Amino acid sequence: MRINLDRLLMDIEKYAAYGKNEQGGVTRPSFSPADHEVRQLFIEEIKELGLEVTIDGAANIWGKYKGTGKNPGSIVIGSHLDSVPNGGKYDGPLGVLMAKEIVKRLIELNIRLDHDIEIVSFTAEESNDFNLSTFGSRSFVGRITAEMLQDACDSKGARLSDELKKVNGGLDKFALMMDMHSDKKAFIELHIEQGQRLESANIPMAVINSVVGTYRSTVKVIGQSNHSGTTMMEHRKDALTASSEMILAVERYCQGQGNVVGTVGKLTISPNAANIIPGQVDFILEVRAEKSVTIQRAVEAIQEVLQEIAARREVEIQQEVFLDQKPVVLDQDIVSSLVETAREMNEPCLILPSMAVHDAAHMASVTKSAMVFVKSIEGKSHCPEEYSLPEDIEKAGNFILQGIINLDRTLYRTEYSLPINKTK
Ligand SMILES: [Zn+2]
Domains of the chain by start residue, with CATH: 5-211+327-414 (3.40.630.10), 213-325 (3.30.70.360)
d(CA 256, CA 253): 5
Ligand 1 centroid vs 126 CA: distance in angstroms? 7
**Residue 125 has what pLDDT?**
97
pLDDT-derived band at 174, boundaries 50, 70, 90: very high
d(CA 54, CA 183): 13
Ligand 1 centroid vs 160 CA: distance in angstroms? 21
pLDDT tens profile 56-100:
999 999 999 999 999 999 999 999 999 999 999 999 999 999 999
Ligand 1 centroid vs 125 CA: distance in angstroms? 7
**Residue 127 has what pLDDT?**
85
d(CA 73, CA 69): 8
Task: Collapse the DSSP code of 193 into the 3-class scheme (helix H, G, I; strand E, B; otherwise coil) and give the result.
Answer: coil
Q: Rounded to 5 degrees, what are φ and ψ at 209?
A: -105, -5
Query: Given phi > 0 = left and psi -120 to 50 = alpha, else beta, which region is 267?
Result: beta
d(CA 307, CA 357): 31
pLDDT tens profile 206-228:
999 999 999 999 999 999 999 99
pLDDT tens profile 290-344:
999 999 999 999 999 999 999 999 999 999 999 898 999 999 999 999 999 999 9
| 72 CB-contact burial (10 Å; exposed 0-12 / middle 13-18 / buried 19+) | middle
Q: Which of 265, 239, 29, 13 is nearest to 124 (CA)?
A: 29
Ligand 1 centroid vs 70 CA: distance in angstroms? 33
d(CA 93, CA 78): 9
Would you say residue 138 has pLDDT above 80? yes
Q: Is the pTM of this model over 0.85?
A: yes
Ligand 1 centroid vs 349 CA: distance in angstroms? 20
Ligand 1 centroid vs 92 CA: distance in angstroms? 4
Higher pLDDT, 53 or 416: 53
Give the CA-trace dihedral at 315, 316, 322, 328, to 10 degrees.
Answer: 60
Ligand 1 centroid vs 120 CA: distance in angstroms? 13
pLDDT, averaged across the chain: 95
pLDDT-derived band at 273, boundaries 50, 70, 90: very high
d(CA 193, CA 156): 33
pLDDT tens profile 359-418:
999 999 999 999 999 999 999 999 999 999 999 999 999 999 999 999 999 998 776 555
Q: Which of 113, 104, 73, 183 is nearest to 409 (CA)?
A: 113
